[in-house]
Chains A and B, each alone.
Chain A
Amino acid sequence: MGRVIVVTSGKGGVGKTTTTANVGGALTTLGKKVLLVDMDVGLRNLDLVMGLENRVVYTFMDVLEGRCTAEQAMVKEKHAGGALMLLAASQLHNKQDLDLDKVKEAVAALATGFDYVFLDSPAGIEHGFEASSAPAEQALIVVTPDVTSVRDADRVIGLLENKGVRNCSLIVNKYDRTLIERKKQLTSDDIVDVLGTELVGVVPEDKAILDATNRGDILVLSQSTPAAAAYLEIARRLEGDETNFSALSTGHSLLSLFWRQK
């Protein structure tokens, strides 16, 4: 039985979908079998981020409503050799069409065939978020270092706690060291101080992410950049390794100098 993890944030545009794709991809490099489910019914994106938009025939909604089997609906990621699968969201439905009981049942059945199932939640705290968090045992909360994102994350953690999802972990995304040094951005310590939640990853701002997304490649499976390293650290932490946060280390290692030149 695999771990079912919801990736959520409350606020939109913080990088939930990119995080889902890359953390999932990073886990496959550790030999794990991973399923990514796009729960953003009506505004699907995960297929684009993974470059699979032309291969989607059936969606998760088709599985829920019995028009196909889960095996028929799952799409294989190109580089991971079958270890990373996608269940896309329907564009033809809206979030109200998700039946919570059916979602829970379907996700529980899917989890038997994988080590990890990630549910990529839509922004907001309405029905789409409810449907994404209902089957989850753990949550990855994605925040960017700004006060709006932190407040929304706080609200979402409260809602998850009310639903019984007590295992919440924090990923700080778009972390910009130069802005932090100029004291223009919240530090990860500030964020952890407010949210009181375990930190599992700090992903630096990295232009390579946008580039990879636009090409339809998962960064962590195609390039070695500081952000890719951060996603690999998150995967290792989920697997129980206490690794350092490379994005927070102050020293300029040879490797980081190399990255800067690229």
Chain B
Amino acid sequence: MERKGFVLKGTSQSVEMIIGQVTPVADILQQLDEVLARRGDVMGRLPFVLDPGDRQLSDAELTAFEQFFVDHHLDYQLPQLEPAVDPREVLFPLPACDPTIIVDHTLRSGQSVTAGGNVLVVGDVNEGAEVHAAGSIYVLGVVRGVVSAGESITALGFEPSRMTVSDVEYEGAERGFRDARKAQTVFVEDGTIHIELAGKRR
């Protein structure tokens, strides 16, 4: 049992009020009332900054603090309420990345897409078109243009004019691709480019 429900720390600009983790708010306020009755002349001129530490205060408790400060004609500052947390996000957190950009047509010469996340192209990436993605690129068509991805590139056909995965350049673009019209995934392992049938990777 905490003996006293809070600690006061005076600075030149404010009085920081660090409250205990378990003492009921009503008790804290009663103790504060007593302190103010004794020393209010000194502390009453500075704003009170409420610091709950790790303690989660309910709306009602915060309102009780607010009401107390208003009643005592004190300046005050309440902690910012954390936004309500959806329990599903705690259980199934989404990966922290940009959403996938979906391009619903063939990218033609002169068109380009750059994304912080993944890119899905429903169509071809023609020669003269470019796709750059920090994540992966998926092409439901043939890659003929310039593509670079941070993670991997999957397509139904490969005839790229230039291709880079994880900053490793594919050297074979000049020679042409083996099995250029199969669904394959290009990724980097141990600093070298690997090409495997799509879906077979690990």
Contact = CB atoms under 8 A, between A and B. Distances in A.
B128 interface: yes
Given A159-B110, A196-B106, A154 B123 contact: no
A161 B105 contact: yes
B127 to A, nearest CB: 6
Nearest to A196: B106
B109 A155 contact: yes
A151 interface: yes
B101 to A, nearest CB: 17
A158 B124 contact: no
Interface string A140-160: 000000000001101101110
B105 A194 contact: no
Interface string A157-172: 1110100000000000
A152 B108 CA distance: 10
Contacts of A196: 106, 123-124
Q: SS class of chain B's interface: helix, strand, loop or mixed?
A: loop
Contacts of A161: 105, 108
Contacts of B105: 161
B126 interface: yes
Contacts of A159: 110
A119 B107 CA distance: 26
Interface residues of A, number: 10
Interface string A185-198: 00000000010100
B62 to A, nearest CB: 53
Interface in B112-147: 123-124, 126-128, 144
A151 to B, nearest CB: 5
Contacts of A155: 108-110, 128
B110 A194 contact: no
**Residue in B110, B111, B123, B144 whose Cβ sees the most chain A Cβ within 10 Å:** B110
A31 B107 CA distance: 39
Nearest to B108: A158
Interface in A191-229: 194, 196
Interface in B41-81: none
Nearest to B141: A196
Contacts of A152: 109
B127 A151 contact: yes
A154 B123 CA distance: 13
Contacts of A194: 124, 126-127, 144
A11 to B, nearest CB: 12
Nearest to B126: A154
Contacts of A158: 107-111
B154 to A, nearest CB: 20
Contacts of B128: 151, 154-155
Contacts of B111: 158
A152 B127 CA distance: 10
**Residue in B107, B108, B111, B144 whose Cβ sees the most chain A Cβ within 10 Å:** B108
Contacts of B106: 196
B152 to A, nearest CB: 25
Given A194-B127, A194-B144, A196-B106, 19 more contacts: A151-B109, A151-B127, A151-B128, A152-B109, A154-B108, A154-B128, A155-B108, A155-B109, A155-B110, A155-B128, A157-B108, A158-B107, A158-B109, A158-B110, A159-B110, A161-B108, A194-B124, A194-B126, A196-B124
Interface of A: 151-152, 154-155, 157-159, 161, 194, 196
Interface pairs A-B: 7 shortest CB-CB: A158-B108, A155-B109, A154-B109, A154-B108, A155-B110, A154-B126, A158-B111
5 contacts: A154-B126, A155-B110, A158-B111, A161-B105, A161-B108
